[in-house]
A and B are shown apart, each in its own frame.
Chain A
């Protein structure tokens, strides 16, 4: 039939007003029947001039804007910028702050991976249920963020030289409580999803990202590791207190949507191990912000890093989050650039989708784990 009947390709636009494009993202898809022939991502609907704005404020003034990059992971965004500024200005970080950073970053990873799993299931048609289970757990962690920083999502908490102020009394105990209770939630989620035949059939062998392509396209984070490449900046760079933590880096075999889901589940289990160690080893007292950090926070204009540039990077839940800063010796960055993992991971979308069915494009996008705030900036 297909040999004899010749039809035109059909073009459809998925998004920008589409519930499963995770914000205002548009995919211009060309279809041959149900099969995707080409897919062009259309970006820029959420562009808000992040980099230029940050060149017009002091280094401290950039922090609240980084909260709005990937609004699921404000803490790790703060951490990435703090690491870059610390390199630029040669700022020391006290021991307790190093551990607090690890604790906050791993809680953020739990928040992100839990929610992305919920969203992925939402995209697959399991509307609501897994997402709300995920959001229930996320809520508990967001309460902790509010306790420490005063805001659930727009934390503005991690600063060059440590964290803005020490965590309040009882915070670490509540983190202990969450860490102890989380495995049960993960078990439950896995019962719900991991062996579910429908999920397996929808995701296994779908959206395969070959190892070589992942490496050559600079894909990072769980997506790269699901393709079987052992690369985790927590191990490679060893920032904050990570060199003292013992944890494994879970790797996938096939690099399909299922592996990306499962790598995230395993990463959450490793995060819990890291949290346990960090909670055990964190110094009970000591400063949470170095003297220089306090000085910078109190009067941001006195901080004039020497001329030069620095690239600070961390393993954010989505991949390598890097901040490139150029200083001309003034209190404001001369150049401020964000290497956003969501954006770079998205570049392989067409390669993963070509030849797949149109319904699969939605879950392949869901498995990339993007947040438009970070893609468009």
Chain B
């Protein structure tokens, strides 16, 4: 069981989510053209460059597309709001959380900010942390 003296270990839902005091997303940025990718690339899809550097993604953005999913694959809890958020010029995929999943509460152009949530602890007491975007 968890040692109460030490903070429980945490693991991000995906490797491009950086936890800590200021949770944020990080991308692989092409050093020649600036294109950003959340998974690894052999070469840049835009300019074929092979050099990448880590780039922090803005934690605030604007909803540029969303859908409210009410019918999904088995095991996927519904309803949820899937969205594309424009984070200062970088498109990010994530759910809109901490608000009602209906068109009265979720709007195109809405300002949102990154927020994290717990997916629970595994058998070793490690807590998985996911992210979404909440109204700002």
Do A and B form a real pair? no
Interface residues of B (CB under 8 A from A): none
